Amino acid sequence: MLGLDPIVIALRIPALLIAITFHEFAHARMAYYFGDTTAHRQGRMNLNPLSHLDPIGTIMILLVGFGWAKPVPINPYNFNQYRKGLRWVSFAGPLVNFILGFLSLLFFSVLISRGITDGLFLQFVMVLTQLNILLGIFNLIPIPPLDGSKILMSLLPDAYLGHYRTIEQYAPLILLLLIITRALGVIIFPLFNLVLTLFSTIIGFIPGL
């Protein structure tokens, strides 16, 4: 599991840049697909890490392993299919993180199978795996402004949308309390272990690994 070891924190920096860059690019690209060009027009549909860093979210990822990036600007009212667009644009970021996490773990397994069992690069690949899985899970939590809240909104009947939107003003406080009380970790880390086990099981079926 990710810890506070100085080497691990240093390895998180390039892993973080990869994870959040692809996460936000996926949001922007999916929004563009559904007809919203806002991120594209504002220069956010790119793979430049500096475009996507959020100071507080970055510090959180470096210290505790999960956090957030600077959200790409999206106007869901531009989507050619509002609910479907909102759902897939929101899910695109976490989905890319899970794909990157799986591919990183697969690469890690290949390295191990080739006799590479030590070294900073191997450690970096595992940090990249862990960080992507944690980022994917964290962003699926249905608390505004996380991606999971928008996915939930796209699924709720219209009658409940107003009630759900009323809690948005309290969402930052709720999220802060979950972090301070470490309740967020109680939710995230068991799911992390579940996803990691699932990925490892799938990879275990690949001959030679």
Name the residue ranges covered by the structural domains of the chain.
6-204
Summarize pLDDT for 121-175 with one digit per residue, the tens.
999 999 999 999 999 999 999 888 889 989 998 988 877 777 777 777 787 788 8
Summarize pLDDT for 86-115 with one digit per residue, the tens.
999 999 999 999 999 999 999 999 999 999
Residue with more model confidence, 67 or 170: 170
Q: Annotated active-site positions, please?
A: 24
Question: What's the predicted TM-score (pTM) here?
Answer: 0.89
Summarize pLDDT for 166-196 with one digit per residue, the tens.
777 787 788 878 878 888 888 899 999 999 9
Q: Are 135 and 58 in contact (CB under 8 A)?
A: no
In angstroms, what CA-CA distances link 24 with 54, 89, 104, 119, 186? 11, 10, 19, 30, 26
Summarize pLDDT for 14-32 with one digit per residue, the tens.
998 899 999 999 999 999 9
- Residue 62 scores a pLDDT above 80: no
